[in-house]
């Protein structure tokens, strides 16, 4: 009579799952710690938050580029930045320049050639001008543009 050997316990498989879960737990803990302890301008907040970004006006206010040499349609955005800097400096830009280029507000996009070729920067400037001409307060303009453009990122 031949007896069948008893099944071997699956120690390796159990150990692999346990180790994998431990690594996953440690990674998730580190990610959560980075999120909670890092400043709001860090990349982790940019990726994982749906809240509006802050807009920090610079002191002194930066000069924007002259719209004359800028090709259309981007010229309009630079014109708006030149005519209404007090509105754009109170808005956050959601094109990604907030942490990639250190921009603190939407006006920063127009102090260099960043906004040339960026459709989001242009649309934000146009929308801000439209709301400003309609008589909205700065707080209302910020609230409306944050709601409209924060999902763009």
pLDDT tens over the chain, length 153 residues: 566 776 666 656 778 888 888 999 998 888 777 766 665 555 555 555 556 777 878 889 889 999 999 999 999 999 999 999 999 999 988 887 876 777 889 999 999 899 998 999 999 999 999 999 999 999 999 989 988 888 765
Whole-prediction pTM value?
Answer: 0.65
pLDDT at 59: 86
pLDDT at 137: 93
pLDDT at 78: 95
pLDDT at 15: 83
Which is nearest to 41 in space by CA: 90, 87, 104? 104
**If 0-12 CB within 10 Å is exposed, 13-18 middle and 19+ buried, where does residue 46 land?**
middle
Three-class DSSP labels, 24-65:
HHHHHHHHHHHHHHCCCCCHHHHHHCCCCCCCCCCCCCCCCC
Which is nearest to 91 in space by CA: 55, 125, 131? 55
Q: Is residue 124 a contact partner of residue 87, using CB atoms and an 8 Å limit?
A: no
């Amino acid at each position: 009579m031949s007896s069948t050997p008893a099944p071997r316990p699956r120690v390796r498989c159990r150990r692999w799952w346990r180790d994998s879960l431990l690594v996953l737990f440690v990674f998730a803990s580190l990610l959560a710690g980075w999120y909670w302890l890092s400043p709001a301008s860090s990349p982790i907040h940019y990726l994982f938050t749906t809240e509006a970004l802050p807009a920090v006006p610079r002191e002194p206010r930066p000069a924007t580029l002259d719209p004359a040499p800028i090709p259309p349609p981007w010229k309009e955005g630079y014109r708006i930045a030149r005519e209404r800097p007090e509105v754009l400096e109170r808005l956050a830009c959601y094109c990604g320049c907030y942490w990639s280029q250190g921009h603190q507000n939407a006006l920063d996009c127009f102090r260099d050639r960043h906004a040339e070729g960026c459709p989001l920067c242009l649309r934000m400037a146009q929308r801000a001008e439209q709301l400003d001409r309609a008589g909205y307060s700065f707080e209302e303009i910020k609230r409306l543009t944050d709601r409209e453009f924060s999902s763009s990122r």
